[in-house]
Structure 1
Amino acid sequence: MASQFSFNAASAQEQQPIPTKPRPQRHQRPDYRHIHRFPLPLTVRPLPPLIPHNPISVISVLLSYLTYFIAPPHHAIHSAYFDSNTSSVHVTDEKTIRALWEMGFFGKGSLSRSEPTWIEQEKKRRGLLGGVTLDEVTRQRRAERRDLKLQRARSEKLIIEQRLQAEAAAREGRTIPDPQANLSAARATNGIATTAEKLSLRKAKEAKILEAQQLAQRDREDAGKTVQSSTTEDNHPTEPTVSGPDIIEGMTITNEEHLQLSNEEAFFLVYGLGALHIFDQDHQTVLSPTFLLRKLCHHSYSPPRDSSTDLKTDDPFLVSYVVYHHFRSLGWVVRSGVKFGVDYLLYNRGPVFSHAEFAVVVIPSYDHPYWSETDERKTECAAKQARSWWWFHCVNRVQGQVQKTLVVCYVEIPPPTQDLGATSASLDIGALLSRYSVRELIIRRWIPNRSRD
């Protein structure tokens, strides 16, 4: 009976549910669907559906047109300026910065990774703002990943040492007295971090956050003491002192960050959407689309070409803008791909929703008979579109590692015309862009292990 009772007690003890630890509170993400609900910085009024056999729908469409002509929608036109030193377009107005980023993901913060959040990071660093910014979340995730890799490397080193000890003991005919160490080493061989390692990393992270909070609180207290001591002289109180946190909360922080637009983004906002006015470097004259096109084409070279030279149909800016305009017109969010060694990255909705699906490489193509009339033109065109197989395999391998599909865009370069002369003041940009054509070619890596039957 005693043995049966002890057996039942042990089985009941085993059947008790193991208490699970609550998950750590994750950072609450903003409502990106509401923030980025407009795909472009434009005000659009959709028309009601038109049903031919329903006269009420015809009346509603006519009323919509009448309302549009009586009270047309207000289109906000933003302002920026062209910096000749950096050959890029800068936006300094905070409302314009938020509008261009939230409606189409245009530009990049000059002091941030992508979204202009330097002012939030600075306030967070000074203890004026709660919460965590996206850059800090990314930084913490990378630090945790780096710590896990270090722990894994230590575990693998321990496994190798224990294996060598076991082989030496087997040769000498003795045994290793610590089997639990072998068990932990076997777990580490599968590439899985142990629970103790994860708990230690979590505790270290909490300790870092607590230390940062204590340092911020100490800075506030020191600032309060400094303010109080500065308002008294010879131990005689002069005016009522103000506490330190109030002084810090009331201090003004100048936003030193601006939004930097690429030349393709700026020209698309000016010419394609009509939502941006670009001033010269003195902020006095608005650059017309024709003059801006010439200026950007001249600055697409290094060093910039003289403004008196004629435009060429294979200018680097024209070739890259044709591809940018092409994918923007198809509804893709186009961002710079210099991080992955390509020209553009294509997002379905935007960088805050998902990673880029496609990586685009732009290559000019000289298939028109004009470019092969003389040997000099042939040599020059071959040098401009030459790409080595080493370069191609490197780019394709990088995109395969980051799980992106490589798209090679061949832009057909048309022959030059007289309209591109420097003296022509009325350049038809639409007619010029219509002469280009884009061919898309998707490249995928063929991996034998994944392609077997």
Structure 2
Amino acid sequence: MKKRNLNAIYHSPLPVEVVALPPLVPHNPISVAYYVYQLVFVPFLWGFKRRRRLTAYLELYTDSVSSYVSSIAVDSYEDMQELWKAGFFGKGTQSRSDPTWALRTAKRLQEASGETEIVAPEEVTARRRAARKRFKNARALAEQGVLSNPADSEKVEANEEPRRQKPTRVEDLALRDSEGNVRQLEKLQLTFQEAFFLAYALDIIDIYDDRTGDLVTVPYLLGLLMPDWSPDNSFIVNYVVYHHYRSHGWCVRNGVKFGVDYLLYRRGPPFSHAEFGVIVIPLYSNESKNQLMRRDWYWSSGVNRVVGGVKKTMVLCYVKVPDCIDKWHTVEELLKMYEVREVVLRRWIPSRNRD
């Protein structure tokens, strides 16, 4: 099987188009005129017209008191692919991460009909794990003297049962449309921090109310995500950290799988594992509040052992929370009121960290 060219597939770190400006020679009037033309007229005549905005839909949960945002998702297949391939935003609702449900379903239906041309990323991982399992079985047989070379796993494969063709189920008939294509039933679910970053920082996505179809503006979205306007609201505290690392070029993903708030990748999940696990801790000017948020060493040692067990470095990210905020502040003014401090925490192992 031919190896995928990851650099060609995931060519951009963010879903934005960057146009390089020409070199500027101040004493050359032609260079100055060409620079101004590229800076002003080209984005206006070419860049803005070609820029395609993405679309997401916001679902609200309404009770007798107020409304809360339950989820923000993208349902267009083209938008899902662009958000994942350029920045690794969101998660497929029916996939592990990359929204490949339609691809995997088409692969499964083609296997039922005898056609096997589509290869999903999950299948690449499954094949790699199967090859590793065959090698381990061959190594065990080599230790018993059955095989002379552990790499010779053809005899082990010969003992395996042939893969049977699965029949088409009745439920699978509803997965195809009138033209025979697989229906797109999967959505790309964005975290609140990802959606706000795409809407505010990059300004490339339009979020609509799922019930009314109205466009949700950035100030209104901020009010929905933090209705109490508390300085230590979990959304704004976590968004400050998310915005901080995204602006420094890191690929930020949710880290609940490893007991942390965020995972930091240099390029993204397909290229390498995450290097850092970030835990967000609010820091107050009032010492009594800091005492309530203080974690003991049993907690930090346990989380650090989990993070270190998967070969990641634990980062304690302290967010200095202001005493009060006002809803009339702009988003830029609001972010300037917070301050981020980072502390790297590593386990001290006597056998490895001796002087």
Cα 1:202–1:361 change in 2 (3 A) is: farther
Work out the CA distance in 1 between the residues paired with 2:349 and 2:205. Answer: 46
- Does residue 1:76 correspond to 2:47, yes or no? no
Q: Which residue is 2:22 aligned to?
A: 48
Q: How does 1:266-345 map to 2 (within 5 A)?
A: 266-298=195-227, 310-345=228-263
Q: Which residue is 1:100 aligned to?
A: 83
Work out the CA distance in 1 between the residues paired with 2:329 and 2:232. Answer: 17
- Does residue 1:124 correspond to 2:103, yes or no? no
* Offset from partner CA, 1:59-113 (integer Å, 9 cap, x none): 4313313532651413322111112357221110111111111111111111111
Work out the CA distance in 1 between the residues paired with 2:181 and 2:346. Answer: 52
Greater share of residues in strand: 2
Measure how far apart 1:56 and its partner are: 4.8
Measure how far apart 1:196 and its partner are: 6.2
Q: Is the 8 A contact 1:365 1:413 kept in 2?
A: yes
Work out the CA distance in 2 between the residues paired with 1:392 and 1:194. Answer: 48
Work out the CA distance in 1 between the residues paired with 2:116 and 2:130. Answer: 23
- Does residue 1:392 correspond to 2:303, yes or no? no
Q: Is the 8 A contact 1:42 1:76 kept in 2?
A: no
Q: Which residue is 1:174 aligned to?
A: none
Work out the CA distance in 2 between the residues paired with 1:387 and 1:201. Answer: 54
Mean Cα deviation higher: 59-68 or 339-348: 59-68
SS at match of 2:216: coil
Cα 1:201–1:47 change in 2 (3 A) is: same
- Does residue 1:415 correspond to 2:326, yes or no? no
Q: Is the 8 A contact 1:50 1:58 kept in 2?
A: yes
The structure with more radius of gyration: 1
Measure how far apart 1:145 and its partner are: 5.0
Work out the CA distance in 2 between the residues paired with 1:205 and 1:253. Answer: 35
2:9 aligned partner, one-letter code: I
Work out the CA distance in 1 between the residues paired with 2:258 and 2:89. Answer: 19
Q: Which residue is 1:229 aligned to?
A: none
- Does residue 1:350 correspond to 2:268, yes or no? yes
Cα 1:54–1:442 change in 2 (3 A) is: farther
2:262 aligned partner, one-letter code: Y
Q: Is the 8 A contact 1:82 1:279 kept in 2?
A: yes
Q: Which residue is 2:190 aligned to?
A: 261
Mean Cα deviation higher: 313-322 or 126-135: 126-135
Mean Cα deviation higher: 265-274 or 128-137: 128-137
Work out the CA distance in 1 between the residues paired with 2:296 and 2:60. Answer: 33
Q: How does 1:50-449 map to 2 (within 5 A)?
A: 50-52=24-26, 56-68=30-42, 71-74=45-48, 75-85=51-61, 87-127=70-110, 128-143=115-130, 145=132, 184=143, 199-200=152-153, 203-204=156-157, 207=160, 210-212=162-164, 215=165, 219=167, 251-298=180-227, 310-366=228-284, 368=285, 371-372=286-287, 378=288, 380-383=289-292, 385-417=293-325, 419-420=326-327, 426-449=328-351
1:112 aligned partner, one-letter code: S
SS at match of 1:450: coil
Greater share of residues in helix: 1
Cα 1:350–1:138 change in 2 (3 A) is: same
Work out the CA distance in 2 between the residues paired with 1:194 and 1:442. Answer: 48
Measure how far apart 1:55 and its partner are: 5.1
Q: Is the 8 A contact 2:319 2:338 kept in 1?
A: yes
Cα 1:139–1:284 change in 2 (3 A) is: same
Measure how far apart 1:251 and its partner are: 2.4
Work out the CA distance in 1 between the residues paired with 2:104 and 2:90. Answer: 19
Work out the CA distance in 2 between the residues paired with 1:248 and 1:40. Answer: 33
Work out the CA distance in 2 between the residues paired with 1:203 and 1:314. Answer: 59
Stretches of structure 2 that go unaligned for 5 or more consecutive residues are 62-68, 171-175
Work out the CA distance in 2 between the residues paired with 1:404 and 1:202. Answer: 38
Q: Is the 8 A contact 1:36 1:102 kept in 2?
A: yes
Stretches of structure 1 that go unaligned for 5 or more consecutive residues are 1-26, 156-182, 188-192, 224-246, 299-309, 373-377, 421-425
1:104 aligned partner, one-letter code: G
Measured on the aligned residues, the alpha-carbon RMSD in Å equals 3.2
SS at match of 1:449: coil
- TM-score, normalised relative to structure 1: 0.67
Measure how far apart 1:148 and its partner are: 6.6
Cα 1:70–1:346 change in 2 (3 A) is: closer
* Offset from partner CA, 1:431-452 (integer Å, 9 cap, x none): 1110000001111222222234
Work out the CA distance in 1 between the residues paired with 2:158 and 2:205. Answer: 44
Q: Which residue is 2:65 aligned to?
A: none
Q: Is the 8 A contact 1:109 1:115 kept in 2?
A: yes
* Offset from partner CA, 1:318-351 (integer Å, 9 cap, x none): 1100000000111111111111111111111111
SS at match of 1:363: strand
Cα 1:205–1:65 change in 2 (3 A) is: farther
Q: Is the 8 A contact 1:144 1:201 kept in 2?
A: no
